[in-house]
Every structure is written in structure tokens, then in C-alpha cells.
Chain A
Amino acid sequence: MMSKRTMRQVFVYGAVCLAILLLPMLINDDFLLNRFARYLVLAMVSMALALSWGYAGILNLGQAMSFGLGSYCMAMALKLRTIPVHTGSEGLPDFMVWNNVEALPWFWKPFYSMPFAIAAGIIGPMIVSAILAWFMFRGRVTGVYVAIITLATLVVVNLVIIDQQWATGGFNGITDLAQLELFGITFDAYSATTYYLIAICLTVCLFLALAVTKSKAGLILQAIRDQEDRVRFFGYDVALFKTMVFCVSAGIAGLAGMLYTIVMEFASPTFLGVQLSLSIVIWCAVGGRQSLVGALLGAILVAGMQGALSESEVFLDTWTLVMGALFVLVVLFLPNGIASLGEKLAEKFGSRRRAAAEPAKRGNAISRSTKLAEGK
């Protein structure tokens, strides 16, 4: 059933995931491992954006909203597992005490349950995105207006979280968290266990997203990207298809947000900041928005370079320039991102091989066309 191209894709995706899973064997430094785990989380959001932007043409500038909401869900659950210094084991989170809050707000209470928190971290962003998508896509909002609306929504949610300090910790976010414990395993941010957790989540999400793009719905989404109106006249409810992919993307971003809280050990309004949201778009564009694995590697590459350059003494003053130059080069020479580099190479080698087999084929074609001309 699988075409050659799909087989090659599955092979490449599998190889990348395997490399990610095997990395801890080579690294014996918990600090470095934590940093790589962080990059993997960012790669996950970038991949989620590629699903909606690259495949369905929905440029979501508010991708960080789903990411941030997921991150806060996890932070709330982990915060309730810490023992506050001043108020005892059944007491309020510290920042609530500082804000003169007397009882735990009702919407915090379900977060005593870890399964609820995990479900909320994925389904919550999906519901918010579904509502937003329903209004946008039913109203047939397209193109740059989608980008503006999603960005504006992100800013609104960000401001609400900063403003409601009594419940969210405001600017400081939610800090001083317990470590996640699941099935008796403790996930220390600076350990291989957390790295594996993230790597496995990333692998599952990557193949889930790949399955979506390989389904007939994925094909219809690509058709929507190319000619939205035409798809409608085949009887497909375009708004519903777009809402679906927007929500899947939000769910993956929400999961990534939860993992980010685990790896960073806090949640902060910057997790749903405009700056992060735009960075996601850049990672996606550099890696190649029409390739899931491209967007994933783009995030690792850019975030990794940013980390390495900003810390090396040589580039201390110039690292932003180097990053800028990279973006300009990619946009100029690889408009479809670094992923298209691989395809271009494959094409070159493929065409050389094809050229060798060409003469025989061409003979057939000529005889066929003469037959046609004779009316046979």
C-alpha cells in the first residue's frame, strides 16, 4: 500500500527518532542532557506548527498559547505537590499566600489529580483552539488575517495570565515545583529518565502527525492549502478539516508545554509570549515547514546554535548577527527550508540514474504517440 516516497519518509523519520533516543548513551553530562531535552520539547512545538502551517496553510502565530496553557496545567499540578513552607502540607501555594488569597480557587482543585492535569494539558488547548478555529474558519477567515487573529489571541491570554496574579503567579509564573512522579518513576529534570520521556513523546507525536499527513484527510488538507475554494466544490466541509488539524496541532503543542515545565522546573508567562511564538515560526521556516522532520530539526538546530553561540567567547557580541545571516541565507537559497536540501540532493542523484535508463523509455513513448496520431 505504501508508496516509495512514504517508505523513504518513514525510514528517515525512524532514523532521526532512533538517533534522538540513543543520544544519552553518548552524553554523560546531566546538564547537557537537560539542555538537549529542552531542545527536543521546542522541536515538538515546531513540528506541530509544520502540521498546520506547512500542510494546511494555516499560519498560526499563536502556537505558543497552546504550549503555555499546557505548561501551566503541569505547573499547577506539580505546585500542589510541593509542601508550602508557611502553610503546611494542606496549604496554599506560596504566591497565593503573598497575594492574600485565603482558599484555593475552585479551578485549582482538580489539579490535585495528575491524570486530570495531563488530560487538561492536552485537551484544554485543543478546546480553546477549537473555539477559535470554529469562529475563524466558519467565517472563512484566511491568510494573513488568521495570523493576526491567532497572534492577538495569544497576547490576550498572555495578559490575562500576567494580570491574574492571585491565581497564576503573574509575572513570576509558578516556581518551586515538585518533581513529576508517574508509575513510581521520578522525573528529575537533570536525568536521562526525563530525556527519555520527552524523546518518546516526541517520537509518538511525530509518527501521529505523519499518519495524519498520509491519510486522505492529509491530502485534502494539502489541497485546501493550494486551492481552498476548489476543495469546497468537491463537497468537503473545509472549515471542519481546518479545525481538525488546528486542534491536533494544539494538542501536540499542549503536551510539549507540559514537558517544558518538567524540564525547566517552572512555568512562566514567557512560555506564551509573542517572542517564543515568533521563534517557533522561524524554526519551522528554517527547517522546512512542509516537512515535519525538517521543522523538528530546524528547531533543534536554531535553538542549539543560539545556545552554543551565545555562550562561546568568540561570538559573545556577534551571535545575533550570525543567526540573522543564517535566516537570510535560508530564505534566499532554500525557501522550503533545510529539509528541501535533502530532497534536492535526492532529485539530483535520482535524475542521473533516470537519465541512464531514459533512451529505452523514450523509444516507447515515440511509438505510442505515433500510434495515437494514426488514430489507433
Chain B
Amino acid sequence: MTAHLELSDVSASFNGFKAVNGLSLKVEKGELRCLIGPNGAGKTTALDLICGKTVPSGGSIRFKGIELGRHDDYQIARSGVGRKFQVPSVFRQLTVRENLEVAYCKRNGVLANLLRWAHSADSDGLDKLAEFVGLSDQLNVPAAHLSHGQTQWLEIALLLAQDAELILLDEPTAGMTVQETQKTADICNRLKGKHTIIVVEHDMGFVKAIGDIISVMHQGKLLAEGPVAEIENNPKVKQVYLGSVGISGA
């Protein structure tokens, strides 16, 4: 059986600078994979390549056996790839509920959407989603009025509404308090198995709480891959990223 997502020898270059250089990665269906690495290792670029924001300059990216490199970003999204960006990007002028309505995108044609009311019959499910991430009191509040943590929750709810098979999370806990990080970890653990998830994170505590297998990137390449305990003791990883104090000190 082929992996759910398979990157083989993928590269991306910006004006000659190779942000990702021959990256190979396999993720199985239902797996939660953490991607770590020092700044500039190419983690975010790797996610950009998968979701089609950046066009690869070489190699192949296969999702469910389909080659993604040739498709436009919105077509890749339709095939079941969801993405949360590093900088929270919600629709600030729309209310929380409207944000969720937009994300609920089972039918994405123009005509189909012209002939439908904005408040669909499916909104019950969306209300439950808002409850799931603790935003049910803010349903009618414009997203611009949410706090930073709430905006992050909303983004996660958007991904759930989109119901993507493959979810790419770019630093989901950035700027969150300890409790909020804990809650995000809970959500990630709950999604494990149902969705295939790739998380890019710096917070090692969070990675330990959710990750089974960690992939470490360095200078655009895969440096090491394995369970948390193994990565912690990998001398190469220690050298480039974690420092001599080990994984817990990072």
C-alpha cells in the first residue's frame, strides 16, 4: 500500500536559494506527524509545497496516489488538503459563524453558491464545531474582535468545517498560553486517526504531547525521523537544533 502522502526528492528554490532541497517524506493515513527543525530549515516551505502555495522546482508530491505538483492551489484544496497558516488568517470582517460557513465547502462552484442562502441548513453542525473549540458565545462577533488565542481556535474550527483529509498546521500554538496550548494538544489528539495531520512546531512540550513520530529538517533536507525518545538522543539532532541540554531544554 502506498502512503497517504508521499514526497520524494522535492525541491523548491527562490532565486537560486534552495529552501527545500531533495526532501523525501512519507506519512501514513491517520498519522500525526510533527515536523521540527531550526529556523530556515524549510518546514513552512514544505507545507507550502504540499498545499500548492509554492510550485516545486523538482521531485514529486503524491497525495492518495495523485500527483499534486501539476494542480492549482484551489484544486489541491478540493482534493482534501487543508492548511492553517503561521500568521492567523481568518476573515476579519465576517462573524465567527460566517467564517465557518465559508469554510464549509462541500460544494464549491459559483452557480451552486449563487443559488444558496448564506445561512445553510447545515449550520447546526457548524454551531457544534464552534462549541468544540469554545467559541459558541462568539458566534455573531466579527472575527476581528477575537483575541489572539480565539483567532487560532477559529482557524482550527475552520479546518474542521472544511473536513480536510490531510491537515497542515503551521505553528498552531504560537503565542498561546500554557492552558491554550494544552487544549490545542487535546484537539490534535482527538483528530488523530480521523485525519492525517502534519504539524510544524517549535514548542517541544507540545510536540511531545501529540507526536508519535517526529521528522527533523535541516537545510532543506530530512535530517532524522523517529519516535520522540529516539530523536531526543540523536547526536546529529542535538548538534543542529536542540543543543547539549537535550530536547526538554529547547
Residues of A near any B CB (own CB < 8 A)? 1, 3, 212, 214-220, 222-223, 225-227, 229-238, 240-241, 244, 365
Is the CB–CB distance between A233 and B91 below 8 Å?
A: no
Which 9 residue pairs spanning A and B have beta carbons closest together? A235-B77, A235-B78, A217-B113, A226-B91, A219-B118, A216-B113, A216-B116, A223-B102, A217-B114
Considering the chains assembled together, what is the distance between the CA atoms of A232 and B93 in angstroms? 18
Task: Give the A-B contact count at a CB cut-off of 8 A.
Answer: 93
B124 CB within 8 Å of chain A: no
Residues of B near any A CB (own CB < 8 A)? 51, 53, 73-75, 77-78, 82-83, 85, 89-94, 98-99, 101-103, 105, 108, 110, 113-120, 137, 158, 162
Residues of chain B within 8 A of A218, CB atoms compared: 118
Q: When the two chains form the complex, which single residue of B113, B117, B137 contacts A1, counting CB atoms closer than 8 Å? A: B117
Contact A222:B103 (CB < 8 A) given known A1-B117, A217-B113, A244-B110:
no
B112 to chain A, nearest CB (A): 8
Q: Give the nearest-CB partner of A290 in chain B.
A: B93
Which of B92, B105, B137: most chain A Cβ within 10 A? B105
Considering the chains assembled together, what is the distance between the CA atoms of A241 and B111 in angstroms? 9
Residues of chain B within 8 A of A222, CB atoms compared: 91, 93-94, 98
Is the CB–CB distance between B162 and A215 below 8 Å?
A: no
Considering the chains assembled together, what is the distance between the CA atoms of A240 and B74 in angstroms? 11
B113 to chain A, nearest CB (A): 4
Considering the chains assembled together, what is the distance between the CA atoms of A316 and B120 in angstroms? 55
Q: When the two chains form the complex, which single residue of A214, A225, A236 contacts B118, counting CB atoms closer than 8 Å? A: A214
Considering the chains assembled together, what is the distance between the CA atoms of A212 and B113 in angstroms? 10
Is the CB–CB distance between B110 and A240 below 8 Å?
A: yes
Contact A219:B74 (CB < 8 A) given known A225-B93, A227-B90, A234-B108:
no
A-B contact pairs, 29 of them (CB 8 A): A3-B119, A215-B113, A215-B115, A215-B116, A217-B110, A217-B113, A218-B118, A220-B102, A222-B98, A223-B99, A226-B94, A229-B53, A229-B89, A230-B85, A230-B89, A230-B90, A230-B91, A231-B102, A232-B77, A233-B73, A233-B77, A233-B83, A234-B77, A235-B74, A235-B162, A236-B105, A240-B110, A244-B110, A365-B137
Considering the chains assembled together, what is the distance between the CA atoms of A84 and B78 in angstroms? 60
Considering the chains assembled together, what is the distance between the CA atoms of A215 and B98 in angstroms? 12
